[in-house]
Amino acid sequence: MKKIATGNKAVAEAVKQAKPSVVAAYPITPQTEIVETIADYVTSGQLASRYIPVESEHSAMAACIGAAITGIRTFTATSSHGLLYMHEMTNWAAGARLPIVMANVNRSLGPGWNIWAEHTDALQERDTGWLQVYVATVQEAYDATLMAFAIAEANDVLLPVMVNLDGFSLSHIMQPLDTVEPGDFIPPIHLPHAIDTANPTSYGGLTGPNDHFRFRWDIERSMRASVQVIEATQREFAKRFGRTYGFTEDYRCEDADVILIAMGTFGKEAEVAIDILRKEGIKAGSMRIRWFRPFPKLDLAGKEVVVIDRDYSFGSGGVLATEIRAQTKQEVYSVIAGIGGQEVTYDDLAEFVRKRRMGTEFWFGVNANV
């Protein structure tokens, strides 16, 4: 069904169709519209679920954990400081192998208070064992949320999935949304280690070094196995609903000499910049990283690479640039832009490519070249 929706509404719509039994959430700008919409679905009977209005994000994730271990589907949404506040429990959720789905509306971190887009919040969750996907359109926010449940709950994965959408520049903008009838696209949840009072056991108790080490490896084993599950789920989604997604979204990359790489809305807006550059005779292409965990295998051999980071790891560099350098062993031109909602236009994106200086880092709007 075709409609017009915000990124937040698109996520809520997908959650309604995925039918989680428990949703526990706490409000935070710019995510609040997601949980308000879900609370309304529950109250009005459109979604047969329990909505737990917890007193904090730490408790939101704890409640999802307590609910999920009974073998039911759960969802929560957060942003920025909310995500950081639940950090202890995001680790617990992954370690406990619970397929919780969470929408995170990417927002900067204080101080000072800034409610606009930035990816540092989710990237600080990089090492928790959560799968992370970054979306760029309202349609994709919806599609990725539906797929997140199927991927998280797959027996070879059983890890939580975080769907990331840029604060305001996606959460609050209106775009066309084509909803689907999911049918059996998301199979009924089956958690093999669900609590069963007829077959009692202890969960997460004292664990010695060797067993603990094995459990850590098991998370990585599943993270690696999730690659095939993601591919299969995206293939199945394309087959059923006609929209195709990959680990990355590549635009005019085939014959490109220079590739502009970004995540989230910048990654989509880059396509406009690429068209501008092509008209100027610059053979440029763009690559939007969709899945950050598991991180995709990139083939950038023989190409110059410009990476835009809407985040930063102080004392190291842009997180995405660092990942790409580590994986491809290639030098990049690292652009830090858009943090805290800084305005970056198509022309700015094109200019980053034109003025690239490989092996250097550039803070947009701060200095000419660092």
Residues that bind other proteins in the complex, under the rule CB under 8 A = 21-22, 24, 49-50, 52-56, 58-60, 62-70, 72, 74, 88-89, 92, 195-197, 200-208, 211
Alpha-helical segments (H) within 242-355? 265-279, 319-328, 346-354
**What is the amino acid identity at position 78?**
T
In angstroms, what is the minimal distance from the CB of 189 to other proteins? 11
Of 3 and 212, the one with the shorter C-beta distance to other proteins is 212
Residue 315 CB-density burial (10 A; 0-12 exposed, 13-18 middle, 19+ buried):
exposed
Measured from the CB atom, is 15 or 306 closer to other proteins? 15
280-283 contacts at long range (C-beta below 8 A, 24 or more positions apart): 282/257, 282/258, 282/353, 282/354, 283/255, 283/256, 283/257, 283/258
Q: Which is nearer to other proteins, 90 or 169 (CB)?
A: 90
Which conformational region is residue 11 in: left (phi greater than 0), alpha (psi within -120 to 50 degrees), or beta?
alpha
Residue 124: CB minimum distance to other proteins, A: 18
Q: What angle do CA 222, 223, 225 make, to 5 degrees?
A: 60
The whole-angstrom separation of Cα 361 and Cα 370 is 6
- Minimal distance, residue 289 CB to other proteins, in Å: 31
3-state secondary structure of 362: strand
Q: Give the nearer residue to other proteins in terms of CB position, either 193 or 297.
A: 193
Please give the structure tokens belonging to residue 341.
């909602």
Q: Closest distance between other proteins and the C-beta of residue 73, in Å?
A: 10
Q: How far is the CB of 89 from other proteins (least distance, A)?
A: 6
Which residue number, 52 or 287, has a Cβ lying nearer to other proteins?
52
User: Would you say the C-alpha torsion 245, 248, 249, 255 has a positive or negative sign?
Assistant: negative
b (16+ CB within 10 A) / e for 199-209: eeeeeeeeeee
Min dist CB 194 to other proteins, Å, is 10
Write a three-state SS string for 73-115.
Answer: CEEEEECHHHHHHCHHHHHHHHHCCCCCEEEEEECCCCCCCCC
Judged by beta carbon, residue 51 or residue 362, the one nearer other proteins is 51
Does residue 289 contact residue 261 with C-beta atoms inside 8 Å? yes
Closest approach of Cβ 153 to other proteins, in Å?
15
Nearer to other proteins, 55 or 255 (CB): 55
| Among candidate residues 352, 7, 278, the one with its CA nearest the CA of residue 169 | 7
Complex with other proteins: residue 59 or 169, whichever CB lies closer: 59
Place of tokens 């089956």: 190
Distance CA 50, CA 296 (A): 36
* Residue closer to other proteins, measured from CB, 5 or 93: 93
Cβ closer to other proteins: 60 or 337?
A: 60
